[in-house]
Amino acid sequence: MKKIINKKEDLVDEMISGYVKSHCDRVKISKLSNRIIVRNEKKDNSKVALLIGNGSGHEPIAIGWIGKGLLDANVVGDIFSAPSGDLIFEGIKEFKKNRSVILLISHHAGDLMNGEMAIELAQEEKLDAIPLIMYDDIASAPKGNESERRGAAGTTFIYKILGAASENGIQKEELISLGKTVRDATRTLSVGIEGGISPINGKPIFTLEKDEIFIGMGVHGESGYGRQKLTSSSKIVEFMADRILEDYEINSGDIVIPFVNGSGKTTLMELLIIFNDLENYLSNKGIKVFKPLVNEYITTQDTAGFSISLLKSNEEMRKLWCYPVSAPYFHL
């Protein structure tokens, strides 16, 4: 394993320390736990706070997305492991003076179990906390079973749009409704090309033959549609976009926000070629593209691969998508 680290057991804590020191103008470590990162400029107590707990190893999400107009806090778990329910509860308590707290939960077994436990603990303490479960990965469950799908890169749209809406004073019930609307209008499909190396055991997260790719693979190597032969960007993009449009109706004249996300080792050159092919595909169908996001934001160490997420947007979503953000690693 070739990774520049110190001790494996100190990986996460040293990463957090380095992150906060390098962005101390915008983020800080909570007094409640060194695994909770919060905004320096605290949101007004009359507004709804947004936080998420997630396993580390996928940076810059979610530590890099803390800031005005986005997330208020991130509860950081161990590598590829959701933080405990008790720790997420501590994150909720950070905002006990706020009117309400929304806990964003990406639909994975550990995140869901521990997030729901934290909500129960908060409600026992009479804290106004509510979960919003996020899912978008079309390869993880069939059409008609959307609520069983994994959370993937398309959850980004919820972070950004709800972050902007809460910053503008929109309250809990409307935020939850908006979040569900965004979730239901989002679809994601990924492709794995080469497995990254786990910093825990030094082994590949998944393995493929040199001429293979895996369509629909989850962020930890979970199963999807299956293996295919490596081919051109345009053909891979066409296959993926066809599957998305088969799953969710997007028609000529509709306006989508695309997100092309790299998995950690995919070059910007490749991602821009992929986006170019995606834009051509959508344009040929009369589908309009608005303010795309193209870069490596949700990674799995040095995994090679990418995902395509499409949000079928309305005017409100587009306005909130463009709302100014001050978070260290989120740039439109």
Q: 77-102: string of b/e by CB count within 10 Å (b at 16+)?
A: bbbbbbbbbebbbbbbbbbeebebbb
Three-state DSSP class for residue 182: helix
Q: Tell me which H or E stretch contains 14.
A: helix 11-22
Q: Look up residue 271 and give its amino acid.
A: L
Nearest residue to 249 via CA among 190, 307, 291, 312 = 312
Cα end-to-end distance, the chain, whole Å: 34
Among positive and negative, which fits the CA dihedral 202, 135, 155, 112? Answer: negative
Q: What does the longest C-alpha to C-alpha distance in the chain come to?
A: 56
Indicate which residue of 23, 107, 220, 331 is catalytic: 220
Q: Tell me which H or E stretch contains 88.
A: helix 85-93
Indicate which residue of 58, 107, 108, 331 is catalytic: 58
Nearest residue to 188 via CA among 150, 225, 229, 220 = 150
Q: 220 catalytic, yes or no?
A: yes
Which residues are known to be catalytic? 58, 220
